[in-house]
Chain A
Amino acid sequence: MELRKKSQISYPISDEEIIELYWLRDENAIKETDKKYRKYLFNIAYNIVSDRDDCEECLNDTYMGAWNSMPTARPAVLQAFLSAIMRRSAIDCFKKKTRLKRGTSEFTQSFSELEEFIANDADMAEEIENKDLSKTINDYVRSLSERQMYIFMSRYYFSRPIKDIVKYLGCSTSTVKKEIAKIKEGLKIKLESEEYEL
């Protein structure tokens, strides 16, 4: 490691300043976004597409998405805003990829966990279409404790590996697995109460 002088350190600028750059149509906005959030966004993509080249592509799509959205958007939490774009982009990329050949990733793994208790019959899909599943899931996530919400979002929204959740929560794998089981059970009850046929 080499000595770094104070003048050589580049400080990440604040989110407000980055957003301002987008609004000013200054291309440094993308540079600064990349400097500050590249690693974070890359991880989101990697958990979904499991391919570094695809992640790079998703990163570019995300930056382009942010560039096209601001203005008019002025996100309250830039990181969340970028995460949502990245997730969408990564899922699109994953779907495109799986149309060509079957691929597996943490994304498929996490969803297969939920599929376990989703209806076995083909009519389920149709039924889900007719009901507001999104609202049910939103309500359910809101009803969770902060810790459970964190686990749910980590695992099923961002498709994070369990080992990462364990690392960030500072607890054991078995604890997280137990929590996941509880969350799944809770979701099952919620869906049943909303009269989804399970």
Chain B
Amino acid sequence: MKKDKLTDAISSIDQDIVENFVLLDAKLQKKAALRKSKMIKILSSAACLVLVLSISMSLAFDKENPITPNNNKPSTGGGSVPPASYHFESEDDLLLFLDLIRKDPSELKEYDLLEVYKDSPPPYFDISWVNPGELFEFPIEPHGMWIGVTEIPYAKEKFENIGYFTAKDSTSIEKFSHRFYRDYSGTETISYSVITIDGIAYCFDLRKTDEKQSGIKSFISYIRQGGKFYMKSELCGSEIKFYKMKNPNTHIYLEGFTYFEDYTVSMRIFVYNKEDIDKINLEQFVWRDYYEE
């Protein structure tokens, strides 16, 4: 009887309290998923990094096979090549991660990996990394090779949303990473998309997209139009500048597409070298849901 009374009393908790709880719960569950996702990615990337570093070191000693973007073999598909994923944006990040593992692996489980990046100054905005002001024209070619896919979970906090691409096939790309920033300062949203290929960063600037604070309806697409590529925010329709790529030998095609599950955005990237055009294997392309368990 007394249990029933207690159950009834708790059951009759006001609806606004339940609503507050549900909203907070959604936020915390996303954060938890983000922590888990980051952990998986970092752990897998650490393994890949070690592998790639050891391969790179052995090749570096072979003068007849210097590592350059253009002499890499084209993709053969089938997943025989180990995936390269670089999620550490600086040596410090990597060292911090390794240090944590060494000290106490169990502590790592509770470590909010976002903190690694939160306050680090973004080196990607160094002017030497981009050629601002030039509209980039991509050559229109109908095919290429999918190399990556990512999920870009982001929070509303300043510079806290970071996405990474995991390269499915690394034969033509030595290093590949991606960061996506949003800065909700006042009513203006400033977004940056930075892609690093073979150590060269390509920065796409999505400033002044006029997005409202809700953030949920952000829709950024990379489009192809009249022989040119543009980045576009569907919400405000403003055209975004592409900066010129520094490496003329690598062509990248970006087809963004967003996936609105609250603050989750997903984006596809399409990268190819001219040599790889006939080596398309879409099977290599893997879509991963951020919330997939």
Query: Using a CB–CB distance below 8 Å, which chain A residues touch chain B?
Result: 1-4, 6, 9, 11-12, 76-77, 79-81, 83-84, 87-88, 91, 111, 114-115, 118-119, 124-125, 128-129, 133-134, 136-138, 141-142, 146, 149-150, 153-154, 156-157, 167-172
Considering only residues 8-58 of chain B, those with a C-beta below 8 Å from chain A are 8-15, 17-26, 28-29, 31-32, 35
In the complex, the answer to whether B9 meets A11 with C-beta atoms within 8 Å is no
Say whether B286 faces chain A, with CB atoms less than 8 Å apart: yes
**For residue B293, which residue of chain A has the nearest CB?**
A39
15 contacts between A and B (CB under 8 A): A3-B283, A3-B285, A11-B260, A12-B261, A80-B19, A115-B3, A129-B5, A133-B6, A138-B12, A150-B25, A150-B28, A154-B21, A168-B25, A170-B31, A170-B112
A167 x B18 contact (CB < 8 A): no
Q: Whole-angstrom distance from the CB of A168 to the nearest CB of chain B?
A: 4
Collect the chain A residues with CB atoms within 8 Å of residue B23's CB.
Answer: 77, 80
* Chain B residues positioned under 8 Å from A3 (CB to CB): 282-283, 285-287
CB neighbours of B22 from chain A (8 A)? 77, 79-80, 83
Q: How many whole Å from A176's CB to the nearest CB in chain B? A: 12
Chain A residues near B7 (CB, 8 Å)? Answer: 91, 111
A168 in contact with B32 (CB, 8 Å): yes
Q: Is the CB of A88 within 8 A of B11?
A: yes
B127 on interface, CB distance cutoff 8 Å: no
CB distance from B44 to the nearest CB of A (A): 15
Instruction: Tell which of A119, A150, A171 touches B21, judged by Cβ atoms closer than 8 Å.
Output: A150
Which residue of B is nearest A121, CB measured? B2
Option from A4, A76, A118, A125 in Cβ contact (under 8 Å) with B287: A4
User: Is there contact, CB below 8 Å, between B8 and A125?
Assistant: no
- Other-chain contact of B2, A88, A119, A138, A157 (Cβ < 8 Å): A119
Q: What residues of chain B lie closer than 8 Å to A6, measured between beta carbons?
A: 257
Distance A153 CA – B3 CA, assembled complex (angstroms): 17
The answer to whether B287 and A138 have CB atoms under 8 Å apart is: no
In the complex, A168 Cα to B24 Cα: how many Å? 10
Having A79-B26, A87-B11, A168-B32, one finds 8 other A-B pairs with CB under 8 Å, namely A79-B22, A80-B23, A84-B18, A91-B7, A115-B6, A125-B2, A128-B9, A141-B13
B110 at interface, CB cutoff 8 A: yes
**Chain A residues in 8 Å Cβ range of B287:** 1-4
In contact, A114 and B21 (Cβ under 8 angstroms): no
Chain B contacts to A: CB under 8 angstroms: 1-3, 5-15, 17-26, 28-29, 31-32, 35, 110, 112, 257, 259-261, 282-283, 285-288
Contact A138 B13 (CB under 8 A): yes
Check A168–B29 contact: CB distance below 8 A: yes
Which residues in B have their C-beta under 8 angstroms from that of A146?
A: 24
Which residue of chain A has its CB nearest to the CB of B287?
A4
CB-CB < 8 A to A115: which residues of B?
2-3, 6
Could you tell me if A141 and B17 are in contact, using CB atoms closer than 8 angstroms? yes
Q: Is B11 a contact partner of A138 (Cβ separation < 8 A)?
A: no
- Residues of chain B with a CB closer than 8 A to A133's CB: 5-6, 9
Given A150-B25, A168-B25, CB of A124 within 8 Å of CB of B13 = no
Measured between beta carbons, the chain A residues less than 8 angstroms from B18 are 80, 83-84, 153, 157
Residue numbers in B under 8 Å from A91 (CB-CB) = 7, 11
What residues on A are CB-neighbors of B28 within 8 Å? 150, 168-169
A197 shortest CB reach to chain B, Å: 12
- Top 4 A-B residue pairs of the complex, sorted by shortest distance between their CB atoms: A133-B9, A80-B22, A80-B19, A77-B19
In the bound assembly, the distance between CA atoms of A85 and B31 in angstroms comes to 26
Question: Given A111-B3, A115-B2, do A138 and B110 touch, yes or no (CB 8 Å)?
Answer: no
Q: Which residues of B contact A154 (CB under 8 A)?
A: 21, 25
Nearest CB of B to A189, in Å: 17
Contact between A157 and B24, CB atoms less than 8 A apart: no
